[in-house]
Amino acid sequence: MELDLGPELRAFRDEIRTFLAEHRIEELAGQDEMAGYAGQAEPESETRAAAWSEWEAALAKERLICPQWPEEVGGRGLSGVEMAILNEEFDRAGMPRVVRGMGESLVGPSIIVHGTEEQKAYFLPRIIDGTDRYCQGFSEPDHGSDLAGVETRGVVDGDEVVITGQKVWTSGAHRANTIFILCRTDPDAPKHRGLSYVLVPMKREDGSSNGIDLRPLRQMSGASGFCQEFIDGARAPLFNVIGGLNNGWRVAMTTLGNERGGRATTQHLRYEREFWDLVDTARKLSADKDPLVRQDLAWAYTHVQLMRYSGLRLLSTLAAKREPGPEASVNKLFWSEYHKRFGNIAINLLGAQGMIRPEGPGYRTDRWQQVFLGSRAGTIFSGTSEIQHNIIGERALGLPKEPAVG
């Protein structure tokens, strides 16, 4: 089913569909959109790298990189509904969007809201053209859920901030060249008030260390998708403080709102594809007639459809130009808990075979083992499920606040 949202949006859908048909590059069909994220993936071949450059140039020409950003900062000013249509059409064509990771989805939107005109003019084009690749330095060993308690210190020294402390669970840090750090610049202020949001280069301009010692962390899935950083005197210009000194909490909340809302309007597409792949696996294993398997699959399908309908509800909120409320937390809780149970269903379906890793070097896991192990992370990052429950209870349902410890 395709939503009919009126003639203007229909024309927009047609425009994107035509663009995709005219510029399609077969070599990239079916590629993960993150594969081209500013050189994240090692291109398998020169031809593949050339194909990405050609695809990037075509999208850039139509302002289809960071297209949700306002036109005056280099985007195309697409509304939430238009973004949903855009994502649907790319998905339908099997072509990857060129995405700029955390720069596009977290840092850019925070700069747009809290940055000065000079900061917008400097930082945003560098995200669009892939010069700056960001990672998120919020969590610390003792401060994950309790983010406002971060202890990493930022001290103003002339026209620079000098940062010392420790960050952990930093996704993609080994591929980033800039880390956005939440640090304490006023230790005497109440804890939410003494924080600053600073964009810190991972290396100095001459390529030497900026005092950030990066150490990869191995996950139970075998991948090393994130790092911890020991930071000793990393320097950033005061110009890189977004939202003003000691005003970092507000900026961080904008970042987290964007992180939790994600792609709520179209995320069901990915889960639906994954669901049908599992049905295929069930058929191959002749498990598709097993009533317990069918019951699990029916549960999963129902939940993907619920995700789709709640995406449509969010779309109609956006189409009516109303601000979404606590949907971001509801959405985050729903998809992450769904995916964790889906991982259990997949691994149960494989039976004993699910306990055996594929042969090969390193710590290999197959697709469903990856879902089973990796989906646990979804209920932790961007605020754990317990934290989302607290937000929904207190801010959406108006329940009494959780008593503070001590």
Ligand X SMILES: Cc1cc2nc3c(=O)[nH]c(=O)nc-3n(C[C@H](O)[C@H](O)[C@H](O)COP(=O)(O)OP(=O)(O)OC[C@H]3O[C@@H](n4cnc5c(N)ncnc54)[C@H](O)[C@@H]3O)c2cc1C
118 flagged as catalytic: no
Concatenated DSSP letters of 330-371 = HHHHHHHHHHHHHHHHHHHHHGGGGGSPPSSSSS---HHHHH
Q: Residue 215 and residue 229: Cα distance in Å, rounded?
A: 6
Measured from the CB atom, the residue of 154 and 311 that comes closer to ligand X is 154
Q: Shortest approach of ligand X to residue 387 CB, angstroms?
A: 6
Q: Shortest approach of ligand X to residue 141 CB, angstroms?
A: 7
- Which of the following is catalytic: 104, 140, 259, 327? 259
Tokens representing residue 378 in the block: 């979804």
Q: Are strands 178-184 and 134-137 parallel, antiparallel or unpaired?
A: parallel
DSSP 8-state code for residue 104? I
Tokens representing residue 168 in the block: 């952990």
Query: Which element (helix H / strand E) includes 47?
Result: helix 46-61
Distance between start and end Cα atoms, the chain: 53
Note whether 172 and 101 are within 8 A (CB). Answer: yes
Q: Which residue is nearest to ligand X (CB)?
A: 144
Measured from the CB atom, the residue of 136 and 240 that comes closer to ligand X is 136
Query: Which element (helix H / strand E) includes 196?
Result: strand 195-201
Q: Shortest approach of ligand X to residue 139 CB, angstroms?
A: 3
Q: Shortest approach of ligand X to residue 109 CB, angstroms?
A: 16
Q: Shortest approach of ligand X to residue 386 CB, angstroms?
A: 3
Q: Shortest approach of ligand X to residue 322 CB, angstroms?
A: 29
* Dihedrals phi, psi of 78, to nearest 5 degrees: -70, 140
Measured from the CB atom, the residue of 258 and 265 that comes closer to ligand X is 258
Give the residues lining the site for ligand X (CB under 6 A): 135-139, 144-145, 169-171, 226, 377, 380-381, 383-384, 386-387, 390
Measured from the CB atom, the residue of 349 and 387 that comes closer to ligand X is 387
Q: Shortest approach of ligand X to residue 52 CB, angstroms?
A: 24
CA angle 30, 36, 41 (to 5 degrees): 100
Tokens representing residue 99 in the block: 């995405």
Measured from the CB atom, the residue of 143 and 268 that comes closer to ligand X is 143
Residue 173 contacts by C-beta under 8 Å, 6 or more apart in sequence? Answer: 135, 179, 202, 214, 226, 227, 229
Amino acid in position 90: F
Tokens representing residue 283 in the block: 């058929």
CA nearest neighbour of 253 among 366, 93, 391: 391
Q: Residue 107 and residue 124: Cα distance in Å, rounded?
A: 9
Measured from the CB atom, the residue of 137 and 165 that comes closer to ligand X is 137
Which positions are catalytic? 259
